[in-house]
A and B are shown apart, each in its own frame.
Chain A
Protein backbone atom coordinates (compact mmCIF):
# COMPACT_ATOMS: atom_id res chain seq x y z
CA UNK A 1 0.00 0.00 0.00
CA UNK A 2 1.48 3.36 -0.93
CA UNK A 3 2.24 5.73 1.96
CA UNK A 4 -0.21 8.35 0.70
CA UNK A 5 -3.10 5.86 0.82
CA UNK A 6 -2.25 4.88 4.38
CA UNK A 7 -2.07 8.48 5.54
CA UNK A 8 -5.24 9.45 3.61
CA UNK A 9 -7.10 6.56 5.26
CA UNK A 10 -5.91 7.76 8.66
CA UNK A 11 -6.92 11.35 7.88
CA UNK A 12 -10.38 10.27 6.73
CA UNK A 13 -11.23 8.89 10.17
CA UNK A 14 -13.77 10.87 12.14
CA UNK A 15 -14.84 10.67 15.76
CA UNK A 16 -16.93 7.54 16.15
CA UNK A 17 -15.34 5.68 13.20
CA UNK A 18 -15.36 1.92 13.55
CA UNK A 19 -11.81 1.53 12.18
CA UNK A 20 -9.72 2.08 15.24
CA UNK A 21 -6.90 -0.42 14.77
CA UNK A 22 -4.31 0.00 12.02
CA UNK A 23 -1.28 -2.21 11.46
CA UNK A 24 1.58 -1.13 9.20
CA UNK A 25 3.86 -4.00 8.18
CA UNK A 26 7.28 -3.74 6.50
CA UNK A 27 7.62 0.06 6.55
CA UNK A 28 11.26 -0.47 5.44
CA UNK A 29 12.42 2.89 6.71
CA UNK A 30 9.71 4.91 4.88
CA UNK A 31 9.31 8.60 5.65
CA UNK A 32 6.22 10.31 7.08
CA UNK A 33 4.41 7.14 8.21
CA UNK A 34 1.19 7.99 10.11
CA UNK A 35 1.72 11.75 9.95
CA UNK A 36 -1.23 13.98 10.78
CA UNK A 37 -3.37 11.47 12.67
CA UNK A 38 -6.20 13.42 14.33
CA UNK A 39 -8.48 10.68 15.65
CA UNK A 40 -8.20 8.37 18.68
CA UNK A 41 -6.89 5.47 16.58
CA UNK A 42 -4.26 2.83 17.36
CA UNK A 43 -1.47 2.42 14.77
CA UNK A 44 0.98 -0.44 15.21
CA UNK A 45 4.03 -0.10 12.95
CA UNK A 46 5.96 -3.35 12.65
CA UNK A 47 9.47 -2.32 11.67
CA UNK A 48 11.75 0.70 11.50
CA UNK A 49 10.67 4.02 9.98
CA UNK A 50 12.46 7.01 8.42
CA UNK A 51 11.91 10.75 8.83
CA UNK A 52 8.98 12.40 10.65
CA UNK A 53 6.96 9.35 11.71
CA UNK A 54 3.80 10.25 13.69
CA UNK A 55 4.37 13.97 13.14
CA UNK A 56 1.60 16.32 14.34
CA UNK A 57 -0.17 13.42 16.06
CA UNK A 58 -3.38 14.65 17.70
CA UNK A 59 -4.96 11.94 19.78
CA UNK A 60 -3.62 8.77 18.14
CA UNK A 61 -1.78 5.96 19.94
CA UNK A 62 1.10 5.11 17.62
CA UNK A 63 3.70 2.44 18.38
CA UNK A 64 6.82 1.78 16.29
CA UNK A 65 8.07 -1.77 16.83
CA UNK A 66 11.52 -0.81 15.61
CA UNK A 67 13.59 2.37 15.46
CA UNK A 68 12.59 5.79 14.18
CA UNK A 69 14.47 8.23 11.95
CA UNK A 70 14.83 12.00 12.48
CA UNK A 71 11.92 14.09 13.73
CA UNK A 72 9.68 11.38 15.17
CA UNK A 73 6.46 12.80 16.70
CA UNK A 74 7.53 16.29 15.67
CA UNK A 75 4.96 18.87 16.77
CA UNK A 76 2.73 16.30 18.52
CA UNK A 77 -0.47 17.89 19.86
CA UNK A 78 -1.90 15.05 21.97
CA UNK A 79 -1.97 11.26 22.15
CA UNK A 80 0.83 8.77 22.66
CA UNK A 81 3.79 7.74 20.52
CA UNK A 82 5.93 4.79 21.64
CA UNK A 83 9.21 3.83 20.00
CA UNK A 84 10.35 0.35 20.98
CA UNK A 85 13.87 0.92 19.58
CA UNK A 86 16.04 4.03 19.23
CA UNK A 87 15.08 7.44 17.89
CA UNK A 88 17.26 9.63 15.68
CA UNK A 89 17.80 13.36 16.08
CA UNK A 90 15.16 15.90 17.13
CA UNK A 91 12.62 13.42 18.48
CA UNK A 92 9.52 15.21 19.76
CA UNK A 93 10.73 18.57 18.46
CA UNK A 94 8.33 21.49 19.03
CA UNK A 95 5.74 19.11 20.54
CA UNK A 96 2.81 20.87 22.19
CA UNK A 97 1.24 17.95 24.07
CA UNK A 98 0.88 14.20 24.40
CA UNK A 99 3.41 11.63 25.52
CA UNK A 100 6.43 10.34 23.57
CA UNK A 101 8.14 7.27 25.01
CA UNK A 102 11.45 6.10 23.52
CA UNK A 103 12.50 2.73 24.90
CA UNK A 104 16.01 2.85 23.45
CA UNK A 105 18.26 5.90 23.11
CA UNK A 106 17.47 9.21 21.47
CA UNK A 107 20.11 11.06 19.43
CA UNK A 108 20.89 14.78 19.48
CA UNK A 109 18.36 17.60 19.90
CA UNK A 110 15.70 15.44 21.59
CA UNK A 111 12.79 17.71 22.56
CA UNK A 112 14.25 20.78 20.88
CA UNK A 113 11.86 23.73 21.28
CA UNK A 114 9.34 21.54 23.18
CA UNK A 115 6.16 23.40 24.04
CA UNK A 116 4.14 21.16 26.36
CA UNK A 117 4.95 17.61 25.26
CA UNK A 118 6.13 15.02 27.81
CA UNK A 119 9.04 12.90 26.59
CA UNK A 120 10.34 9.83 28.41
CA UNK A 121 13.56 8.18 27.22
CA UNK A 122 14.55 4.84 28.76
CA UNK A 123 18.11 5.12 27.48
CA UNK A 124 20.31 8.18 26.93
CA UNK A 125 19.93 11.34 24.87
CA UNK A 126 22.41 13.19 22.66
CA UNK A 127 23.72 16.75 22.65
CA UNK A 128 21.65 19.96 22.56
CA UNK A 129 18.53 18.24 23.87
CA UNK A 130 15.62 20.45 25.01
CA UNK A 131 17.29 23.46 23.35
CA UNK A 132 14.96 26.45 23.91
CA UNK A 133 12.38 24.16 25.52
CA UNK A 134 9.40 26.27 26.55
CA UNK A 135 7.19 23.90 28.52
CA UNK A 136 6.55 20.20 29.09
CA UNK A 137 8.79 17.56 30.65
CA UNK A 138 11.79 15.64 29.39
CA UNK A 139 12.53 12.56 31.52
CA UNK A 140 15.73 10.61 30.85
CA UNK A 141 16.48 7.35 32.65
CA UNK A 142 20.02 7.22 31.25
CA UNK A 143 22.52 10.00 30.57
CA UNK A 144 22.32 13.33 28.72
CA UNK A 145 24.91 14.62 26.23
CA UNK A 146 26.51 18.03 25.91
CA UNK A 147 24.66 21.34 26.31
CA UNK A 148 21.48 20.01 27.86
CA UNK A 149 18.74 22.64 28.01
CA UNK A 150 20.65 25.40 26.26
CA UNK A 151 18.70 28.71 26.25
CA UNK A 152 15.93 26.98 28.15
CA UNK A 153 12.60 28.61 28.94
CA UNK A 154 10.24 26.74 31.29
CA UNK A 155 10.48 23.09 30.16
CA UNK A 156 11.42 20.84 33.10
CA UNK A 157 14.18 18.30 32.63
CA UNK A 158 14.73 15.22 34.78
CA UNK A 159 17.84 13.08 34.28
CA UNK A 160 18.64 9.95 36.29
CA UNK A 161 22.19 9.42 34.96
CA UNK A 162 24.97 11.87 34.27
CA UNK A 163 24.78 15.08 32.28
CA UNK A 164 27.85 15.63 30.10
CA UNK A 165 27.38 19.39 30.23
CA UNK A 166 24.62 21.93 30.77
CA UNK A 167 23.83 24.48 28.10
CA UNK A 168 23.76 28.21 28.56
CA UNK A 169 21.31 29.34 31.28
CA UNK A 170 20.43 25.75 32.29
CA UNK A 171 21.06 24.84 35.93
CA UNK A 172 20.38 22.04 38.35
CA UNK A 173 17.42 22.87 40.55
CA UNK A 174 15.99 21.64 43.78
CA UNK A 175 13.63 18.67 43.50
CA UNK A 176 10.61 19.72 45.50
CA UNK A 177 7.58 17.64 46.45
CA UNK A 178 5.49 18.88 43.53
CA UNK A 179 8.25 17.86 41.09
CA UNK A 180 8.52 14.38 42.62
CA UNK A 181 4.75 14.03 42.33
CA UNK A 182 4.73 15.16 38.69
CA UNK A 183 7.67 12.90 37.79
CA UNK A 184 6.00 9.98 39.50
CA UNK A 185 2.83 10.61 37.48
CA UNK A 186 4.76 10.78 34.19
CA UNK A 187 6.72 7.59 34.93
CA UNK A 188 3.47 5.83 35.69
CA UNK A 189 1.85 7.13 32.50
CA UNK A 190 4.86 5.81 30.55
CA UNK A 191 4.43 2.40 32.18
CA UNK A 192 7.77 2.50 33.96
CA UNK A 193 8.12 0.50 37.15
CA UNK A 194 11.07 -0.08 39.45
CA UNK A 195 12.40 3.47 39.04
CA UNK A 196 11.89 5.97 41.86
CA UNK A 197 11.49 9.72 41.20
CA UNK A 198 14.10 10.37 43.91
CA UNK A 199 16.76 8.84 41.62
CA UNK A 200 16.51 11.82 39.25
CA UNK A 201 17.95 15.30 39.30
CA UNK A 202 15.96 18.24 38.06
CA UNK A 203 17.31 20.85 35.61
CA UNK A 204 15.65 24.03 34.54
CA UNK A 205 16.14 27.58 33.40
CA UNK A 206 18.20 30.08 35.43
CA UNK A 207 15.92 32.68 33.78
CA UNK A 208 18.80 35.04 33.07
CA UNK A 209 18.68 34.84 29.30
CA UNK A 210 15.03 35.34 28.59
CA UNK A 211 14.25 37.97 31.21
CA UNK A 212 15.09 41.59 30.72
CA UNK A 213 17.94 42.64 32.98
CA UNK A 214 17.98 46.32 33.91
CA UNK A 215 21.79 46.31 33.81
CA UNK A 216 21.55 45.77 30.06
CA UNK A 217 19.28 48.81 29.51
CA UNK A 218 22.17 50.75 27.98
CA UNK A 219 22.42 48.20 25.17
CA UNK A 220 19.02 49.14 23.72
Chain B
Protein backbone atom coordinates (compact mmCIF):
# COMPACT_ATOMS: atom_id res chain seq x y z
CA UNK B 1 0.00 0.00 0.00
CA UNK B 2 2.40 2.74 1.25
CA UNK B 3 1.55 6.32 2.12
CA UNK B 4 3.23 9.29 0.52
CA UNK B 5 3.08 12.99 1.26
CA UNK B 6 4.69 16.12 -0.12
CA UNK B 7 4.57 19.82 0.63
CA UNK B 8 5.93 22.58 -1.58
CA UNK B 9 5.72 26.04 -0.02
CA UNK B 10 5.07 29.15 -2.06
CA UNK B 11 4.71 31.40 0.99
CA UNK B 12 8.12 31.76 2.64
CA UNK B 13 6.57 32.70 5.97
CA UNK B 14 5.49 29.04 6.31
CA UNK B 15 9.06 27.74 5.94
CA UNK B 16 9.78 27.46 9.70
CA UNK B 17 6.73 25.12 9.94
CA UNK B 18 7.64 22.81 7.05
CA UNK B 19 9.00 20.00 9.24
CA UNK B 20 6.03 20.15 11.61
CA UNK B 21 3.42 20.20 8.84
CA UNK B 22 5.05 17.40 6.87
CA UNK B 23 5.51 15.27 10.03
CA UNK B 24 1.78 15.46 10.83
CA UNK B 25 0.87 14.62 7.23
CA UNK B 26 3.10 11.55 7.34
CA UNK B 27 1.89 10.35 10.75
CA UNK B 28 -1.71 10.49 9.49
CA UNK B 29 -0.69 8.04 6.74
CA UNK B 30 0.80 5.49 9.21
CA UNK B 31 -1.90 2.86 8.62
CA UNK B 32 -1.00 2.74 4.91
CA UNK B 33 2.38 1.22 5.79
CA UNK B 34 4.01 0.73 9.17
CA UNK B 35 7.30 -0.89 8.11
CA UNK B 36 9.56 2.12 7.76
CA UNK B 37 9.35 5.84 7.24
CA UNK B 38 11.45 8.58 5.80
CA UNK B 39 11.45 12.27 5.06
CA UNK B 40 13.50 14.55 2.81
CA UNK B 41 13.61 18.25 3.64
CA UNK B 42 15.01 20.98 1.44
CA UNK B 43 16.40 23.68 3.75
CA UNK B 44 17.84 27.02 2.75
CA UNK B 45 21.08 26.45 0.84
CA UNK B 46 24.11 28.32 2.15
CA UNK B 47 26.24 29.70 -0.61
CA UNK B 48 29.38 27.65 -1.15
CA UNK B 49 28.39 24.95 1.34
CA UNK B 50 27.04 21.48 0.66
CA UNK B 51 25.54 18.78 2.87
CA UNK B 52 25.86 15.01 2.99
CA UNK B 53 23.39 13.00 5.09
CA UNK B 54 24.90 9.72 6.29
CA UNK B 55 23.54 6.80 8.28
CA UNK B 56 25.25 4.27 10.48
CA UNK B 57 24.22 1.05 12.22
CA UNK B 58 26.69 1.93 15.01
CA UNK B 59 26.44 5.71 15.22
CA UNK B 60 28.67 6.09 18.27
CA UNK B 61 31.61 4.31 16.71
CA UNK B 62 31.19 5.98 13.34
CA UNK B 63 30.24 9.53 14.30
CA UNK B 64 32.53 10.15 17.32
CA UNK B 65 35.46 12.22 16.13
CA UNK B 66 34.24 12.16 12.52
CA UNK B 67 34.75 15.94 12.03
CA UNK B 68 38.30 15.58 13.34
CA UNK B 69 39.07 12.59 11.13
CA UNK B 70 37.64 14.34 8.04
CA UNK B 71 39.83 17.37 8.84
CA UNK B 72 42.88 15.12 9.18
CA UNK B 73 42.09 13.61 5.79
CA UNK B 74 42.12 17.08 4.31
CA UNK B 75 38.36 17.77 4.12
CA UNK B 76 37.43 20.30 6.82
CA UNK B 77 33.80 19.69 7.78
CA UNK B 78 31.24 20.16 10.52
CA UNK B 79 29.20 17.14 11.62
CA UNK B 80 25.75 17.39 13.15
CA UNK B 81 24.64 14.07 14.64
CA UNK B 82 20.94 13.15 14.83
CA UNK B 83 20.47 9.64 16.23
CA UNK B 84 21.53 7.12 13.55
CA UNK B 85 22.05 9.87 10.97
CA UNK B 86 24.55 12.70 10.70
CA UNK B 87 24.72 15.70 8.39
CA UNK B 88 28.20 16.64 7.22
CA UNK B 89 28.66 20.18 5.97
CA UNK B 90 31.57 20.92 3.67
CA UNK B 91 32.75 23.38 1.05
CA UNK B 92 30.56 22.59 -1.96
CA UNK B 93 33.63 22.04 -4.13
CA UNK B 94 34.65 19.17 -1.81
CA UNK B 95 31.40 17.19 -2.10
CA UNK B 96 32.96 14.40 -4.17
CA UNK B 97 36.04 14.31 -1.93
CA UNK B 98 34.02 13.83 1.21
CA UNK B 99 32.28 10.77 -0.23
CA UNK B 100 35.66 9.31 -1.21
CA UNK B 101 37.24 10.01 2.16
CA UNK B 102 34.22 8.59 3.98
CA UNK B 103 34.50 5.32 2.11
CA UNK B 104 38.07 5.04 3.42
CA UNK B 105 37.79 6.27 7.01
CA UNK B 106 34.20 5.12 7.72
CA UNK B 107 33.50 2.24 5.35
CA UNK B 108 30.31 1.23 7.21
CA UNK B 109 28.39 4.48 6.89
CA UNK B 110 25.79 4.78 4.18
CA UNK B 111 25.22 7.98 2.25
CA UNK B 112 21.47 8.79 2.29
CA UNK B 113 21.76 11.79 0.02
CA UNK B 114 23.74 14.93 -0.67
CA UNK B 115 23.45 18.35 -2.24
CA UNK B 116 23.16 22.04 -1.46
CA UNK B 117 19.96 21.86 0.52
CA UNK B 118 18.62 18.30 0.92
CA UNK B 119 18.66 16.36 4.19
CA UNK B 120 17.21 12.82 4.28
CA UNK B 121 16.21 10.84 7.34
CA UNK B 122 14.79 7.33 7.11
CA UNK B 123 14.58 4.31 9.36
CA UNK B 124 12.51 1.22 10.01
CA UNK B 125 9.62 1.86 12.40
CA UNK B 126 6.52 3.99 12.62
CA UNK B 127 6.41 7.54 11.22
CA UNK B 128 5.79 9.03 14.69
CA UNK B 129 8.95 7.37 16.04
CA UNK B 130 11.02 8.24 13.00
CA UNK B 131 10.07 11.93 13.04
CA UNK B 132 10.74 12.24 16.80
CA UNK B 133 14.03 10.41 16.55
CA UNK B 134 15.30 12.92 14.01
CA UNK B 135 13.43 15.93 15.43
CA UNK B 136 11.91 16.53 11.99
CA UNK B 137 9.20 18.81 13.43
CA UNK B 138 11.80 21.46 14.25
CA UNK B 139 13.17 21.57 10.71
CA UNK B 140 12.44 24.44 8.38
CA UNK B 141 12.62 24.36 4.62
CA UNK B 142 11.06 25.29 1.31
CA UNK B 143 9.72 21.85 0.35
CA UNK B 144 9.82 18.24 1.47
CA UNK B 145 8.47 14.77 0.81
CA UNK B 146 7.76 11.81 3.06
CA UNK B 147 6.93 8.13 2.82
CA UNK B 148 5.63 5.39 5.06
CA UNK B 149 6.27 1.95 3.68
CA UNK B 150 4.45 -1.34 3.32
CA UNK B 151 7.28 -3.37 1.85
CA UNK B 152 6.67 -5.46 -1.27
CA UNK B 153 9.70 -5.43 -3.56
CA UNK B 154 12.64 -5.57 -1.15
CA UNK B 155 13.47 -6.17 2.52
CA UNK B 156 12.39 -3.96 5.43
CA UNK B 157 15.71 -2.22 6.09
CA UNK B 158 16.88 1.36 6.48
CA UNK B 159 18.23 1.30 2.95
CA UNK B 160 14.98 -0.08 1.56
CA UNK B 161 13.08 2.85 3.10
CA UNK B 162 12.11 5.85 1.02
CA UNK B 163 12.91 8.58 -0.05
CA UNK B 164 15.56 7.36 -2.48
CA UNK B 165 18.19 9.85 -3.51
CA UNK B 166 20.36 9.01 -6.50
CA UNK B 167 21.59 12.46 -7.49
CA UNK B 168 22.52 15.73 -5.82
CA UNK B 169 19.45 17.36 -4.24
CA UNK B 170 17.15 14.80 -5.88
CA UNK B 171 14.82 12.38 -4.19
CA UNK B 172 11.80 10.23 -4.93
CA UNK B 173 9.03 8.48 -3.03
CA UNK B 174 6.94 5.78 -4.64
CA UNK B 175 3.62 4.07 -3.99
CA UNK B 176 3.29 1.04 -6.21
CA UNK B 177 5.53 -1.60 -7.73
CA UNK B 178 7.48 -1.63 -10.97
CA UNK B 179 7.69 -4.70 -13.16
CA UNK B 180 10.62 -3.78 -15.42
CA UNK B 181 13.04 -2.52 -12.79
CA UNK B 182 15.57 -5.34 -13.19
CA UNK B 183 16.05 -4.65 -16.86
CA UNK B 184 16.14 -0.90 -16.35
CA UNK B 185 18.70 -1.31 -13.58
CA UNK B 186 20.97 -3.22 -15.99
CA UNK B 187 20.67 -0.39 -18.53
CA UNK B 188 21.44 2.25 -15.92
CA UNK B 189 24.40 0.28 -14.53
CA UNK B 190 25.84 0.16 -18.05
CA UNK B 191 25.49 3.94 -18.11
CA UNK B 192 27.64 4.07 -14.97
CA UNK B 193 25.08 4.41 -12.20
CA UNK B 194 25.46 2.46 -8.97
CA UNK B 195 22.72 0.99 -6.78
CA UNK B 196 22.54 0.37 -3.03
CA UNK B 197 19.54 -1.99 -3.01
CA UNK B 198 17.41 -4.42 -5.05
CA UNK B 199 14.49 -2.02 -4.64
CA UNK B 200 12.33 -1.05 -7.63
CA UNK B 201 11.83 2.53 -6.40
CA UNK B 202 15.58 3.14 -6.30
CA UNK B 203 15.61 2.29 -10.03
CA UNK B 204 12.90 4.88 -10.68
CA UNK B 205 14.93 7.50 -8.80
CA UNK B 206 18.08 6.61 -10.72
CA UNK B 207 16.19 6.68 -14.01
CA UNK B 208 15.07 10.26 -13.34
CA UNK B 209 18.58 11.24 -12.24
CA UNK B 210 19.95 9.85 -15.49
CA UNK B 211 17.33 11.72 -17.56
CA UNK B 212 18.07 14.98 -15.76
CA UNK B 213 21.82 14.43 -16.18
CA UNK B 214 21.10 14.34 -19.93
CA UNK B 215 19.80 17.89 -19.67
CA UNK B 216 16.07 17.29 -19.20
CA UNK B 217 14.20 19.25 -16.56
CA UNK B 218 12.13 17.44 -13.94
CA UNK B 219 8.95 17.70 -16.01
CA UNK B 220 10.60 16.19 -19.09
CA UNK B 221 12.20 13.42 -17.02
CA UNK B 222 8.82 12.50 -15.53
CA UNK B 223 7.25 12.49 -18.97
CA UNK B 224 9.76 9.98 -20.31
CA UNK B 225 9.23 7.86 -17.17
CA UNK B 226 5.67 7.30 -18.41
CA UNK B 227 7.10 5.67 -21.54
CA UNK B 228 9.92 3.69 -19.96
CA UNK B 229 8.62 2.52 -16.59
CA UNK B 230 6.21 -0.40 -16.48
CA UNK B 231 4.09 -1.11 -13.45
CA UNK B 232 2.09 0.72 -10.85
CA UNK B 233 3.31 4.03 -9.58
CA UNK B 234 2.42 7.28 -8.01
CA UNK B 235 5.69 9.20 -7.64
CA UNK B 236 6.39 12.38 -5.74
CA UNK B 237 9.79 13.80 -6.62
CA UNK B 238 11.89 16.64 -5.24
CA UNK B 239 14.78 18.58 -6.74
CA UNK B 240 16.63 21.58 -5.30
CA UNK B 241 13.98 23.98 -6.55
CA UNK B 242 11.25 21.71 -7.93
CA UNK B 243 8.49 19.37 -6.88
CA UNK B 244 6.81 16.89 -9.24
CA UNK B 245 4.02 14.31 -9.25
CA UNK B 246 3.17 11.63 -11.79
CA UNK B 247 0.84 8.59 -11.81
CA UNK B 248 0.89 5.63 -14.18
CA UNK B 249 -1.89 5.38 -16.80
CA UNK B 250 -3.90 2.83 -14.78
CA UNK B 251 -3.71 5.11 -11.72
CA UNK B 252 -4.92 2.63 -9.12
CA UNK B 253 -2.54 4.03 -6.49
CA UNK B 254 -4.39 6.87 -4.83
CA UNK B 255 -3.39 10.53 -4.91
CA UNK B 256 -4.94 13.79 -3.80
CA UNK B 257 -3.50 17.25 -4.26
CA UNK B 258 -4.33 20.64 -2.80
CA UNK B 259 -3.17 24.06 -3.87
CA UNK B 260 -3.54 27.49 -2.26
CA UNK B 261 -1.59 30.75 -2.61
CA UNK B 262 0.64 29.42 0.17
CA UNK B 263 1.48 25.88 -0.91
CA UNK B 264 1.04 22.83 -3.12
CA UNK B 265 0.41 19.66 -1.10
CA UNK B 266 0.23 15.97 -1.99
CA UNK B 267 -1.24 13.10 0.02
CA UNK B 268 -2.09 9.47 -0.70
CA UNK B 269 -5.41 10.35 0.87
CA UNK B 270 -7.28 13.54 1.70
CA UNK B 271 -6.86 12.70 5.41
CA UNK B 272 -3.19 13.67 5.13
CA UNK B 273 -4.11 17.21 4.10
CA UNK B 274 -6.81 18.12 6.63
CA UNK B 275 -4.49 19.91 9.08
CA UNK B 276 -2.90 22.22 6.53
CA UNK B 277 -3.64 25.93 6.97
CA UNK B 278 -6.48 27.15 4.75
CA UNK B 279 -7.33 23.63 3.45
CA UNK B 280 -11.06 24.53 3.60
CA UNK B 281 -10.55 26.95 0.74
CA UNK B 282 -7.84 25.06 -1.18
CA UNK B 283 -8.37 23.75 -4.68
CA UNK B 284 -8.42 19.99 -4.08
CA UNK B 285 -8.17 17.52 -6.96
CA UNK B 286 -6.98 14.09 -7.98
CA UNK B 287 -3.99 14.18 -10.32
CA UNK B 288 -4.98 12.69 -13.69
CA UNK B 289 -3.48 9.39 -14.86
CA UNK B 290 -0.35 9.62 -17.06
CA UNK B 291 -0.12 13.36 -16.51
CA UNK B 292 2.97 15.17 -15.25
CA UNK B 293 2.57 17.89 -12.65
CA UNK B 294 5.49 19.97 -11.50
CA UNK B 295 6.21 23.18 -9.71
CA UNK B 296 9.45 25.11 -9.58
CA UNK B 297 10.61 27.76 -7.10
CA UNK B 298 11.91 30.83 -8.85
CA UNK B 299 15.39 29.66 -9.74
CA UNK B 300 16.85 33.10 -9.09
CA UNK B 301 15.54 33.15 -5.51
Contacts and interface: CB of A to CB of B under 8 A. Distances in A.
A63 interface: no
A204 interface: no
Given A29-B269, A29-B270, A29-B271, A86 B285 contact: yes
| B interface majority secondary structure | loop
Contacts of B250: 108
Given A67-B284, A69-B254, A89-B252, A126 B271 contact: no
Given A86-B285, A88-B286, A127-B289, A50 B251 contact: no
Which residue, of B249, B271, B274, has the highest number of chain A Cβ atoms within 10 A?
B271
B274 A88 contact: no
B254 A29 contact: no
B270 A69 contact: yes
B254 to A, nearest CB: 6
Given A67-B284, A126-B289, A127-B289, A88 B271 contact: no
Interface in A41-95: 48, 50-51, 67, 69-70, 86, 88-89
A108 B256 CA distance: 14
Which residue, of B270, B272, B285, has the highest number of chain A Cβ atoms within 10 A?
B270
A95 to B, nearest CB: 19
B260 to A, nearest CB: 16
Contacts of A28: 271, 274
| Interface band, chain B | 10 to 19
Interface in B95-121: none
A51 B251 CA distance: 16
A86 B286 contact: yes
Given A50-B269, A50-B271, A86-B286, A70 B251 contact: no
B285 A30 contact: no
Contacts of A69: 254, 269-270
Contacts of B271: 28-30, 50
Contact of A108 (B251, B269, B273): B251
Contacts of B274: 28-29
Nearest to B284: A67
Contacts of A51: 269
A88 to B, nearest CB: 6
A67 B270 contact: yes
Contacts of B270: 29, 48, 50, 67, 69
B28 to A, nearest CB: 9
Nearest to B272: A29
Contacts of B272: 29
A69 B255 CA distance: 10
A70 B284 contact: no
Interface string B210-251: 000000000000000000000000000000000000000111
Contacts of B286: 86, 88, 107
Contacts of B251: 89, 107-108, 126-127
A19 B274 CA distance: 30
Contacts of A48: 270, 284
A74 B18 CA distance: 37
Interface string B253-291: 010100000000000011111100000000011100100
A88 B252 CA distance: 10
Contacts of A127: 249, 251, 289
22 contacts: A28-B271, A28-B274, A29-B269, A29-B270, A29-B271, A29-B274, A30-B271, A48-B270, A50-B270, A67-B270, A67-B284, A69-B269, A86-B285, A86-B286, A88-B256, A89-B254, A108-B251, A108-B252, A108-B289, A126-B251, A127-B251, A127-B289
Given A89-B254, A108-B289, 6 more contacts: A29-B270, A50-B269, A67-B270, A69-B254, A70-B254, A108-B252
Interface of A: 28-30, 48, 50-51, 67, 69-70, 86, 88-89, 107-108, 126-127
> What are the nearest 4 A-B pairs in CB distance?
A29-B271, A29-B270, A28-B274, A48-B270
